[in-house]
């Protein structure tokens, strides 16, 4: 295992501090690789131990069961780094790089394409997996390829954007046991950095003034049933401010569930279920969460 031979991952680590909701039980084992070699080594270690390996990026769009997770939880938030070419617009980024820092770096370099993403509380790898989007933009428009590794310890390989089956908040990466190690974006060079920075800052200001960014949340909970908006459907049911335990449907934006201080993952899961049931009973529409659930016996 080269870099990992002399040590083991941490045992019985609370995952609440590794998610933006600040909930979740303990990981049986937790590792935070800082390089591609180390990431691959930990995946191989889990395979050799015969244990499951689950990927955690920035912990946004993630709900972890209160009972925690068996096996190895691999947190990639320290796997950061990016290189950009101001001439041709190519951006090479490691999976754990925060989307906001990527957006700002691109804007400063005069590269157009990611201004919409500055308020997304996730990583480059997570954005590729989820086809993250906001403000009318989405990852699929600008992603050229990803480098991935099977969670069974197989060899790394590259997938082009046209091989990822992108759809609204979806990619084939959600359905395969693959971990994104890095991503390549192709942005538009030659734009005015000052104008890009202005637009980026305006987008961030809009998000922070219309969404509850001062409280722990996962961002938007439900996918929009286009052309309708999930938040509007939830609000029309009078559900803003509804609480279960320490979880609350935000009074600022109905498509956000916030942790008011002492929420459990089960509180959030039950609130998600309540919203789905109420909206379906009224409109015949089943809202589908953007949130990935880990450790639960059944999916929402």
Q: Is 188 a catalytic residue?
A: no
Q: Cα–Cα distance between 139 and 136 in angstroms, integer?
A: 11
Q: Which of 115, 220, 250, 293 is catalytic?
A: 220
Q: What angle do CA 291, 258, 246 make, to 5 degrees?
A: 110
Asked if 71 and 54 touch (Cβ cutoff 8 Å), the reply is yes
By three-state DSSP, how is residue 143 classified? strand
Q: Which of 22, 169, 186, 293 is catalytic?
A: 169
Q: Is 172 a catalytic residue?
A: no
Cis peptide before 43 (omega within 30 of 0): no
Q: Is 182 a catalytic residue?
A: no
Cis peptide before 227 (omega within 30 of 0): yes
Asked if 168 and 223 touch (Cβ cutoff 8 Å), the reply is yes
Q: Cα–Cα distance between 141 and 161 in angstroms, integer?
A: 9
Q: Cα–Cα distance between 190 and 243 in angstroms, integer?
A: 49
Query: 131 — phi, psi (to 5°)?
Result: 50, 55
Q: Specify burial of residue 4 (Cβ count, 10 A radius: 0-12, 13-18, 19+).
A: middle
Instruction: Write down the number of H helices and E strands in the chain.
Output: 6, 16
Q: Which of 73, 248, 290, 293 is catalytic?
A: 290
Q: Cα–Cα distance between 105 and 118 in angstroms, integer?
A: 10
**Catalytic center residues:** 169, 220, 290
């Amino acid at each position: 295992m080269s870099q990992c031979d002399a040590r083991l991952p941490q045992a019985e680590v609370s995952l609440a501090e590794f998610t933006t909701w600040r909930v979740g039980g303990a990981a049986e084992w937790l590792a935070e690789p800082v390089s591609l070699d180390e990431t691959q080594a930990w995946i191989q270690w889990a395979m050799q131990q015969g244990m499951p390996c689950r990927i955690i990026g920035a912990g946004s769009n993630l709900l972890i069961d209160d009972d925690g997770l068996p096996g190895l939880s691999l947190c990639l938030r320290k796997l950061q780094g990016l290189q950009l070419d101001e001439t041709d617009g190519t951006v090479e980024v490691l999976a754990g790089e925060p989307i906001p820092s990527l957006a700002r770096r691109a804007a400063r370099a005069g590269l157009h394409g990611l201004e919409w993403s500055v308020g997304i509380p996730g990583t480059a790898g997570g954005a590729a997996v989820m086809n993250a989007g906001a403000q009318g933009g989405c990852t699929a428009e600008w992603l050229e390829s990803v480098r991935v590794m099977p969670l069974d310890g197989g060899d790394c390989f590259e997938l082009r954007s046209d091989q990822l089956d992108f759809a609204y908040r979806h990619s084939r990466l959600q359905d395969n046991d693959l971990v994104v190690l890095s991503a390549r974006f192709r942005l538009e060079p030659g734009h005015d950095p000052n104008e890009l920075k202005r637009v980026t800052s305006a987008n961030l200001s809009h998000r922070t003034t219309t969404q509850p960014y001062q409280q722990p949340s996962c961002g938007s909970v439900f996918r929009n049933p286009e052309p309708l908006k999930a938040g509007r459907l939830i609000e029309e049911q009078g559900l803003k401010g509804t609480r279960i335990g320490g979880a609350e449907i935000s009074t600022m934006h109905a498509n956000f569930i916030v942790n008011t201080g002492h929420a459990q993952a089960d509180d959030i899961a039950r609130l998600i279920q309540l919203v789905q049931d109420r909206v379906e009973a009224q409109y015949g529409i089943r809202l589908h969460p953007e949130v990935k659930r880990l450790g639960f016996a059944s999916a929402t």
